[in-house]
Amino acid sequence: MKSHVIVFPGSNCDRDVAVAIKNISGHQPQMVWHKETSINQSDLVVVPGGFSYGDYLRCGAMASTSPIMQDVAKKAKEGVPVLGICNGFQILIESGLLDGALMRNSSLSFICRDILIKAINQNSVFTKNTNVAKMPIAHNEGNFFVTSEQLKKIQDNDQIAFQYCDENGNVSEDSNPNGSLENIAGILNENKNVLGMMPHPERAAEMAHGCEDGKTIFESVLN
């Protein structure tokens, strides 16, 4: 079981996700500085949350051109599971590994709170153990958007990983925290081995966090 966490200047959830992976899998992930050019054999590559390059220019835009991202793209193509959380999701979109765009929250302010998500595709390597789960979001730009053609494509191809929902699993406007199209909280690539999600499963990964729902995503991909 080998996993890797990419560290960009400005990443700030790199340690948190490494701790969650260590606690859940028993294996310490390897931290990879963004200036490196290749990752060894890996069973999971995580692009963590934070403010890579201070969100300057556009969230994730500068990090997507970091040297390591070429190898991340190559690994993704080879079928290695790649998980982007929050800023990591933004980076994967900017890298072209996932469809769509993440715009400013509809409230125009940063939002940090617990939300509920529902796994729509329950067959992927990440989502096979998840149904409705509670975990925090913490972002300024999580308002997911795709063109109607792209939306149809990701719907038809079962690429919607998570939608924001209420306690009963209903996907409604009231349960949409940031204005995302179709309440989309996370999407997969065509091959379902790349997942980008705004919520932070690593912040709901042990009882001290008040909730352990995020564990299932790591358990699913690490076992």
Q: Applying CB under 8 A, does 112 fall inside the site for another protein? A: yes
- Binding-site member from 30, 37, 54, 190 for another protein (CB under 8 A): 54
What distance in Å separates the CA atoms of residue 86 and residue 60, rounded to the nearest whole number? 10
- Identify the active-site residue in 86, 94, 141, 165: 86
Q: Applying CB under 8 A, does 211 fall inside the site for another protein? A: no
Which residue lies nearer to another protein by CB, 114 or 182? 114
Contact 60, 53 (CB under 8 A): no
What distance in Å separates the CA atoms of residue 65 and residue 52, rounded to the nearest whole number? 11
Q: Applying CB under 8 A, does 94 fall inside the site for another protein? A: no
- Binding-site member from 78, 149, 174, 208 for another protein (CB under 8 A): 208
Is residue 202 annotated as a catalytic residue, yes or no?
A: yes
With CA atoms as reference, report the closest residue to 71 among 104, 95, 100. 95
What distance in Å separates the CA atoms of residue 211 and residue 214, rounded to the nearest whole number? 8
What distance in Å separates the CA atoms of residue 56 and residue 27, rounded to the nearest whole number? 34
The residues assigned a catalytic role are 86, 200, 202
Residues found near another protein in the complex (CB under 8 A): 9-10, 12-13, 15-16, 19-20, 49-51, 53-56, 109-113, 136, 138, 140, 200, 202-203, 205, 208-209
